[in-house]
Structure 1
Amino acid sequence: MIKKLTSRYDIVAMERRKICPDFCESDRRIVDAISAIHPGRSVFYVIFHTPEQMEDIYTILLDGETIVKFELPKYSSDTLPSEIQKYSVKEFKKIIGQGKNLTLLSALIELSRKDLADTGKEKAADAN
């Protein structure tokens, strides 16, 4: 599906939506917040990020199957999120409707599933 999206979305730009806590402190805060909401997840993609004055609002795809939306304070070391909302992919698709946001979500789900498959292969190789 992603190959069909290349005219609409740049694949490299899609990869930049992946949260990588090992490389970026702000990503570490987001992962800590997600762990407080939904522990045990490993692949995170930012669907939407809305910066506001006192907090940032994130909508994150978790492992290609769950979407969480939450607020994270900007000027605090506190990583506890507030205003938490959880959605299944099916529910979220209804909320965002047709168009570019649905296309974006579908591409991120595919990337997430690919990452999960690659992670599974790495774990299997490490076990051998």
Structure 2
Amino acid sequence: MKLKGSKQEQEFRKELEGSNLVLAKDGKAELIMNVLKDTFGELKSAYILNWTPEQGEDIYTILVDTDKIAKVEISRVNHSEVPLIETYNLKDFQKRLSKVFQIKLAVAIDLAKTEHQEG
């Protein structure tokens, strides 16, 4: 998807710039990063695309580097419970998305590519 610099893209960019888990310092971000590193090895960026607070857990949809998607489920009740992770191929994942979410994903990929060039 080609980015056009629309207002919506700019809003997503601002939101996503603050969601790179590689740069985050809080406990929840560290927990998610540990799960991602165990699954993917070293990574340069991990942007939270979506966060769904459920009754007993938080579910995060994350763009890992520029080409992988991870869904991480973390219990809010039992902190010793091992987080669950599902991984998706970017192309397969994109097919099921709404137009708006495809724009958000395209902005995140753009940010990740910029991150990888700098790093």
Instruction: State the percentage of identical aligned residues.
Output: 24
What does the per-residue CA deviation read over 1:6-35, in whole Å, with 9 as the maximum and x for residues that have no partner? 411323222122224552222111101212
Tell which structure's C-alpha radius of gyration is larger: 1
Q: Partners of 1:52 and 1:62 in 2: how far apart?
A: 22
Change in CA separation of 1:110 and 1:55 when aligned onto 2, cut-off 3 Å: same
What does the per-residue CA deviation read over 1:47-87, in whole Å, with 9 as the maximum and x for residues that have no partner? 111011211111111001100112111133337322x3211
**1:1-128 maps to which residues of 2 (within 5 A)?**
4-9=4-9, 10=11, 11-20=13-22, 22-78=24-80, 80-82=82-84, 84-97=85-98, 99-119=99-119
Which protein has greater RCO, CA pairs closer than 8 Å, 6+ apart? 2
TM-score, normalised relative to structure 2? 0.84
How many residues align? The count is 116
Unaligned runs of 5+ in 2: none
Letter in 2 for 1:101: F
Unaligned runs of 5+ in 1: 120-128
What does the per-residue CA deviation read over 1:75-114, in whole Å, with 9 as the maximum and x for residues that have no partner? 33337322x32111111111214x1000000110010111
TM-score, normalised relative to structure 1? 0.79
